[in-house]
Amino acid sequence: MVTVGAVTIDGVQRKRANRLLLAARRSRARARLLSRLVLLGPPGAGKGTQAEVLERKFGICHLSTGEILRDVAAGNGLPQTSALKSALRYMRRGELVPDATILELVRERRDCLHAHQGFALDGFPRTLPQARALNRLLLQEGLTLDAALEFSLPMEQVIKRLSGRRICPNGHGVYHLKARPPKVDEQCDRCGAKLVRREDDRPEVVRARMNAYEKSTRPLIAFYKEQGLLITIKAQGKPNEVFTRTVNALKRNL
Ligand code: ADP
């Protein structure tokens, strides 16, 4: 016989209480979203937009390697070491930055992998060696990946999206002239700065990025499929429509 607060429980009641507690835990786990995520998809598929909303609504840590590099380029981020200066040259040409530089940037931010609500890796991994290195890093950190979300979008839509995309120069978000216009023409909703076109959204650079995607990143879809982690989401439509699909997929696959 044990007394808990004002209630006295015997062995049978304790077993029942434990069973109920276990059931409650399981149902909470089922209600939880898959939240340790890799986001895949061609440039312009909307990975960054979806990751931003996942962060805002669910507190999932958004780690974007492209954003880190753009901050460095704008002088808002890390000091420009020679490795980072060279990385920016690759980026301007629409080519992939060497794996070693990217892995260093991610390792420096491993706290994000431990975020209580999970993480969304946006633009990383982008090559098979990066994906294998991520698996090793997660293992070292005692973490597992819940899912790899592939945002699929036909090529003609990719081109449309990239040509209308504008960003806040102070890193306050991504807009689209038609699909996600700012409240005031060409101005950031949060800081009022004049929106700019990303340097690598120029048509000649977009071609190089698409080639890099086809050659180096598309193979990751098969890589994650083999591990039983791939979830494909249609990326057509408005950002909030894609977000609803994303959340449903993260729930449905529990
Ligand atoms: P998008 O997905 O729209 O092409 P990102 O913002 O993810 O753009 O990346 C912009 C650029 O930064 C890439 O074209 C590439 O040069 C560089 N980059 C970002 N992440 C990686 C990565 N994981 N590996 C290699 N290069 C990267």
The pLDDT tens digits for 97-118 are 999 999 999 999 999 999 999 9
Better-predicted residue by pLDDT, 248 or 74: 248
Q: What's the predicted TM-score (pTM) here?
A: 0.82
The confidence score (pLDDT) of residue 147 equals 96
CATH 3.30.70.1710 fits 33-153+206-253, yes or no: no
Nearest Cα neighbor of 235 from 155, 134, 169, 181 is 155
The confidence score (pLDDT) of residue 105 equals 94
Confidence check: pLDDT of 79 > 50: yes
Confidence check: pLDDT of 24 > 60: no
Asked if 42 and 154 touch (Cβ cutoff 8 Å), the reply is no
Mutate to test the pocket of ligand 1, among 39, 50, 52, 69 (most ligand atoms within 8 A of CB): 69
The confidence score (pLDDT) of residue 190 equals 94
Asked if 174 and 58 touch (Cβ cutoff 8 Å), the reply is no
DSSP 29-47: HHHSPP-EEEEE--TTSSH
The pLDDT tens digits for 185-233 are 999 999 999 999 988 898 889 989 999 999 999 999 999 999 999 999 9
Q: Residue whose CA is closest, atom 9 of ligand 1?
A: 66
Q: Is 42 in the pocket of ligand 1 (CB under 6 A)?
A: no
Q: List Cβ<8 Å contacts ≥24 apart for 179-185.
A: 179/238, 179/239, 180/49, 180/238, 180/239
Mean predicted lDDT score pLDDT of the chain: 89
Q: Is 90 in the pocket of ligand 1 (CB under 6 A)?
A: yes
Mutate to test the pocket of ligand 1, among 47, 91, 101, 218 (most ligand atoms within 8 A of CB): 91
Find the 122 Cα to ligand 1 centroid distance in Å. 9
Better-predicted residue by pLDDT, 79 or 143: 143
3-state secondary structure of 119: strand
